[in-house]
Amino acid sequence: MNSTHKIHVEGLNLFYGDNQALYDIGLDMPANSITALIGPSGCGKSTFLRTLNRMNDLIDSVRITGKVLVEGTDIYAPDTDVVSLRKRVGMVFQRPNPFPMSIYDNIAYGPRIHGIKKKAQLDEIVERSLKQAALWDEAKDRLNKSALGLSGGQQQRLCIARLLAVEPDVLLMDEPTSALDPISTLKVEELTGQLKERYTIIIVTHNMQQAARISDTTAFFLNGVLVEASDTEKMFQTPSDKRTEDYITGRFG
């Protein structure tokens, strides 16, 4: 295994009850880069993303075989502490989902549950996280107002800030801009570009231009199978599989 690979997936199968949703997936996701997962609706890309921080555990009927190594440790080993895994591998969801609390309390939520109580330290984390998520200027005068009063784009950046506040290593993003307008989308894209210097980012996207614009590696999923994964530029210029070519040229999906 290459040491620059943050996440290494091997022989991963996933079943919802009797239905198999992922077939023998093998993929390496390098550190400090953006890996985009693309493919048509229902191809398994979001399901795959959710195996990386074990969010699929929330669904009773899911069964998983194979290996997912995060920094060399198998996260499906029986002695895995799922709570501390999710602290390291954080997630941003498709729809912005701020808690019905103030902006400040949203950001401070993670640090607080992980035991930070000092006001000065929380103030510092809130400011730093909002700055990293490029939301500080818009939010600094209304930290005690409800997060639900923010616009959709601001809410999504708030969710990213809330995640950065727990200092994860890996950011999983499940179509983070699909509910946003073009300007907010651009802001979130710029943000991910800045964040990859410090984090490993895996992003699911419907939007192929977005994958081409922001990612370093792209993986193409189809019907639960990983068809092709390679350098983004190579994938979009000279795809090696016919199905990939058909998809990225818009012939289906």
Partner 1 sequence: MNKTHSKLTDRVATLYFWLSGILIVGILAWFLFDILSKGLPNISWKFITGMPSEVAAGGGVAPMLFNSFYILFLSLVVSLPIGVGAGIYLAVYAKKNKFTDLIRLSVEALASVPSIVFGLFGALLFVSWFGWKISIISGAATLSLLNLPVLVRVTEESLRTVPASYWEASLALGSSRWQAIRKVLLPSALPGLITGITLVAGRALGETAVLIYTAGTASSRAFPDFGLKEMGSTLAVHLWYSGSSSLAPDADQIAKGSAALLILIVLIFNLAIALPGRIISKRHNGGN
Task: Please report, as ranges, the residues that interact with partner 1 according to CB under 8 A.
Answer: 53, 55, 58, 60, 83-88, 90-91, 93, 95, 97-103, 105, 109-110, 113-114, 144-149, 159, 162-163, 166
Long-range (24+ apart) CB contacts under 8 A made by 229-236 are 229/27, 232/36, 236/208, 236/212
- Please write down the HEC assignment for all residues of the chain: CCCCEEEEEEEEEEEECCEEEEEEEEEEEECCCEEEEECCCCCCHHHHHHHCCCHHHHCCCEEEEEEEEECCEECCCCCCCHHHHHHHEEEECCCCCCCCCEHHHHHHHHHHHCCCCCHHHHHHHHHHHHHHCCCHHHHHHHCCCEHHHCCHHHHHHHHHHHHHCCCCCEEEEECCCCCCCHHHHHHHHHHHHHHCCCCEEEEECCCHHHHHHHCCEEEEEECCEEEEEEEHHHHHHCCCCHHHHHHHCCCCC
CB 5 → partner 1: shortest distance, Å?
23
CB of 149 to partner 1, least distance (A): 5
Among residues 78 and 100, whose Cβ is nearest to partner 1?
100
CB closer to partner 1 out of 97 and 240? 97
To partner 1, the closest distance from the beta carbon of 217 in angstroms equals: 23
Rank residues 123 and 233 by Cβ distance to partner 1 and give the closer one. Answer: 123
Q: Work out how close the CB of 81 gets to partner 1 at its nearest, in angstroms, rounded to a whole number.
A: 10
Rounded Cα distance between 41 and 50, Å, is: 15
CA 14, chain centre distance (Å): 19
Q: Indicate the residue among 22 and 147 with the shorter CB distance to partner 1.
A: 147
- Please identify, using beta-carbon distances, which residue of 105 and 175 lies nearer to partner 1: 105
Query: From the CB of 103, what's the least distance to partner 1, in Å?
Result: 8
CB of 224 to partner 1, least distance (A): 22
Q: Which is nearer to partner 1, 73 or 238 (CB)?
A: 73
Which tokens go with 227? 């068809």
Which CB sits closer to partner 1, 200 or 218?
A: 200
Q: How far is the CB of 113 from partner 1 (least distance, A)?
A: 5
